[in-house]
Amino acid sequence: MADAMTAREDDTAGVGTAIQATTPPSRSGPPAAKHPSRLWLVYLAAGAVLIALYYQVPVRVGGFPLRVVLYCLVSTSAAAAVCYGLLRNRPRPGLPWVMIAASQLVYAAADGIFYISHYVFDVTEYPSLADLFYLAHFPLAVVGLLLLIRRRTPGRDLPGLLDAATLAVVAAMLSWLYVIGPQTRRGSPVLVELGSLGYPVMDLAMLTVALGLILGSGSRPKAFFLLITWLAAIMTADTIYVLQQLTGNYQAGNFLDAIWLTGNLALGACALHPTMRLLAERSPVPDAPLSPVRIAGLSAAALVAPAVLVLQWAHGSVRDVPVVAAVCALLFGLTIARLAGLVSDQRRLAITDALTSLHTRRFFEAQLPLEVARARRSGGTVAVLIADVDHFKTINDQHGHPAGDRVLVEIATRLRSTVRDGEVLARYGGEEFALILPNAPADTLPLIADRLRERVAGAPIAISHEQWVSVTVSIGTAVYPIHGEDPHELVSLADRALYAAKEAGRDRVVVGPDPSVPRTETTDYLHRTADEVDRTLSSYEHSRAIARWTKLLATHAGLPTESVQRAELAGRLHDIGKIVIPRAILTKASRLSPDEWALMRAHPDHGFRLASVVPGYADVATIIRQHHERWDGTGYPDGLAGNDIRVEARLLAVCDSWAAMRSDRPYQAALSEDRAREEVRGGRESQFDPDAADLFLDLHHRGLIGQLNLIQHPEN
């Protein structure tokens, strides 16, 4: 059976990939500025000068309200900057920024009303008409931010929402305990109470969406941090403003004006910054990772409520216990929901390929026996299709691995569009895809497979803005119970059919096993013998895995197709000679005696003799005989060295040692991957062909060497 990551192409010269190049359509929009990053800096510098002047000049100069003009100039400039940035940077979509611009215009109008009332007419009532405008700008800003978040984050981003809700609940509790609650108990006039409650409530709404923006996924260019600075400044100043109004300490022109004005400047600079258009780009991942900083922040937030109760108890003034208890209950529920989401994500990731979002090979191999058992009970059928991308190695060599990844993603998308409910589509390996089709009629299987092939080859795949590649796939299929009755056999037969499709010229479908490789009672017996030996030695597969890995190495080593097939078959049958070794010796946990070791060392020769009786297996038998020869000549049975050992046997030797080291045997516990890698690296130029060892380690480092699977024993 082919390994998950096998590239089935040889390195034949002249094999190419069709490339089409064209000039992409021009993008509408203004020409790029010669110095696109300077305008926002100039704006910040000019704003800083105006803020400094605001605190230096008198309220009136010759009866002219200069301070009012300076303040309103800064807040109005922020609205103008957002409008200009909207036209200049052309963000898509523009609606979020239209809402934010409208919010800032209302905010600037509120500033004008407020400061003219205070400085010109000495009207200081609270609340006033200005407060109505101030409160009115919040809903516009919140809607704009929500639209921006929705654009940035694909899907629902439930983890980000839960984390933002956790922090927002804690903030709401603190706001109630120290701002809203005390105000409700003061007995203030209704308008004063409404105004004092309106700011913290609106700030909480703003805080919630701000947390959603911060904790959600998406790019974080400089404009992002300027936007966050605006939100932080506005909410901080508003909270202090309400507290000062409640205590009667507020005076127009105090330090709060600097915080508000700084926030306005940050918003204007954000809109003028060239990266402003990037804020609406969709994130490539559905949610931000749960980093240690994020975990620490959420943990600290969850402890705020009990900490508040402890502090109140220490000061002898416990109050609002129902509110704190409700918050604790909400935090507990949010924490449980977050944990449930993490468990669900882990389950999903365990069966989902990270690149293509298809099912993994592990899921495919777990699901196929279930479908076969279901078909056996119901008398139905199960079809297996294995599709391999033609000349994929050429795509990687000519255009690089990122281009190859884009090709795989697009192929996965095209295949997914043809899959119906109940069918299982998986990324079986590097450029291999596998499909389980329950109850697929054998006579319609060629049509189904050909539809998949045509779907992939129907249009070129873009690998850049100016380049496309024409890609085809070869497909091999097999059907239970017509071609095989065992899940492993079914996959093996589909894989052999895939080989036949490759040999016939690629870009085609072959149903059933390759007729050029006949199956006889003798070959079936040898395969069963290999499985029996494996079950004797370990609960994990051995020969099947070695067949996959040896085939993978032979393919990546550029061996001819015939050599790749011989290497795979020799890997499958390399241990059949052990069938004549007494079971007591095979399973002995202690050191073997010299006589026992002599019997064990004879198994390559026994395997050679068993395989030699099969017509056409002479080369395979020779590879089996040589798979325990060593590069330095100290191996057995013939003491061959270096290039005197067949290349297929040299590749097989590395795979055999790796499988033995990575599985529990009666005489040895499984080694870790790191330890096994050290053993392979240490065996270069002594036990192993250095090129074979290096190739194996490279493929393992790239994740192309799969894990050993548990042996599925036949049903009783």
pLDDT at 288: 54
Asked if residues 20 and 445 have their Cβ atoms less than 8 Å apart, the reply is no
Distance CA(603)–CA(624), nearest Å, equals: 9
pLDDT at 524: 76
In DSSP terms, 293 is beta-bridged to none
pLDDT band at 423 (very low <50, low <70, confident <90, very high): very high
pLDDT at 11: 31
pLDDT band at 156 (very low <50, low <70, confident <90, very high): low
Lowest mean pLDDT among 69-83, 187-201, 612-626: 187-201
In DSSP terms, 665 is beta-bridged to 668
pLDDT band at 294 (very low <50, low <70, confident <90, very high): confident
Question: Count of alpha carbons within 13 Å of 101, Cβ hemisphere only?
Answer: 15
pLDDT at 289: 60
pLDDT at 111: 85
pLDDT at 657: 93
Asked if residues 471 and 411 have their Cβ atoms less than 8 Å apart, the reply is yes
Asked if residues 495 and 505 have their Cβ atoms less than 8 Å apart, the reply is no
> Closest by alpha carbon to 178, among 194, 156, 200, 159?
200
pLDDT at 191: 67
- pLDDT reading at 661 higher than 50: yes
- pLDDT reading at 517 higher than 70: no
Q: Specify the DSSP element, H or E, that contains 70.
A: helix 66-89
- pLDDT reading at 49 higher than 90: yes
Distance CA(212)–CA(206), nearest Å, equals: 10
pLDDT band at 19 (very low <50, low <70, confident <90, very high): very low
Per-residue pLDDT of 301-334, as tens digits, reads 888 888 888 888 888 887 778 878 888 888 888 7
- Decide: pTM greater than 0.85: no
Asked if residues 640 and 654 have their Cβ atoms less than 8 Å apart, the reply is no
pLDDT at 516: 45
- pLDDT reading at 26 higher than 70: no
CATH H-level, domain 518-716: superfamily: Hypothetical protein af1432 (1.10.3210.10)
What are 318's two structure tokens?
A: 């416990």
pLDDT band at 627 (very low <50, low <70, confident <90, very high): very high
What is the pLDDT averaged over residues 382-405? 90
> Closest by alpha carbon to 214, among 223, 225, 203, 200?
225
pLDDT at 9: 31
| 187 against 408, higher pLDDT | 408
pLDDT at 45: 94
**In the chain, % of residues over pLDDT 70:** 87
What is the pLDDT averaged over residues 646-654? 95
Q: Given its phi and psi angles, is residue 400 left (phi above 0), alpha (psi -120 to 50 degrees) or beta? A: left
In DSSP terms, 710 is beta-bridged to 540
User: What stretches of 587-664 show up as alpha helix (H) in DSSP?
Assistant: 594-601, 603-612, 618-626, 647-661
Asked if residues 466 and 20 have their Cβ atoms less than 8 Å apart, the reply is no
Domain range list for the chain: 40-157+216-285, 351-515, 518-716
Question: Count of alpha carbons within 13 Å of 102, Cβ hemisphere only?
Answer: 15
CATH number of the domain at 351-515, please?
3.30.70.270
- pLDDT reading at 183 higher than 70: no
Per-residue pLDDT of 532-591, as tens digits, reads 888 888 777 788 889 989 999 998 999 988 888 899 999 999 999 999 899 888 888 888
Report DSSP letters for 413-473, one per residue. HHHHTTPPTT-EEEE-SSSEEEEEEET--TTTHHHHHHHHHHHHHTS-EESSSSEEE---E
pLDDT band at 716 (very low <50, low <70, confident <90, very high): very low
The winner for highest mean pLDDT among 56-60, 234-238, 552-556 is 552-556
Per-residue pLDDT of 595-605, as tens digits, reads 889 999 999 99
- pLDDT reading at 366 higher than 80: yes
Per-residue pLDDT of 27-42, as tens digits, reads 333 343 444 468 999 9
| 200 against 313, higher pLDDT | 313
Distance CA(35)–CA(453), nearest Å, equals: 50
Distance CA(423)–CA(415), nearest Å, equals: 12
Lowest mean pLDDT among 174-183, 255-264, 308-317, 531-540: 174-183
Mean pLDDT of the chain: 82
Q: Which amino acid is at 506?
A: R
Asked if residues 677 and 596 have their Cβ atoms less than 8 Å apart, the reply is no
Asked if residues 549 and 571 have their Cβ atoms less than 8 Å apart, the reply is yes
CA 367, 369, 370, 376 torsion: positive or negative?
A: positive
The DSSP call for residue 177 is I
Q: Given its phi and psi angles, is residue 622 left (phi above 0), alpha (psi -120 to 50 degrees) or beta? A: alpha
Distance CA(131)–CA(121), nearest Å, equals: 16
pLDDT band at 12 (very low <50, low <70, confident <90, very high): very low
pLDDT at 283: 64
Distance CA(653)–CA(689), nearest Å, equals: 9
Per-residue pLDDT of 471-506, as tens digits, reads 999 999 999 888 877 888 888 888 888 887 887 788
| 683 against 186, higher pLDDT | 683
pLDDT at 7: 31
What is the pLDDT averaged over residues 167-177? 77
Distance CA(101)–CA(119), nearest Å, equals: 27
Question: Count of alpha carbons within 13 Å of 139, Cβ hemisphere only?
Answer: 5
What is the pLDDT averaged over residues 212-226? 84
The answer to whether the 351-515 and 518-716 domains have the same CATH topology is no
What is the pLDDT averaged over residues 414-437? 91
- pLDDT reading at 464 higher than 90: no
pLDDT at 22: 36
Residues in the chain: 716
What are 673's two structure tokens?
A: 């991957």
The DSSP call for residue 61 is B
Asked if residues 272 and 84 have their Cβ atoms less than 8 Å apart, the reply is yes
Distance CA(416)–CA(408), nearest Å, equals: 12
pLDDT at 601: 92
Per-residue pLDDT of 73-114, as tens digits, reads 998 999 999 999 989 888 888 899 999 999 999 989 988 888
Q: Which amino acid is at 289?
A: P
pLDDT at 502: 83
**In the chain, % of residues over pLDDT 90:** 31
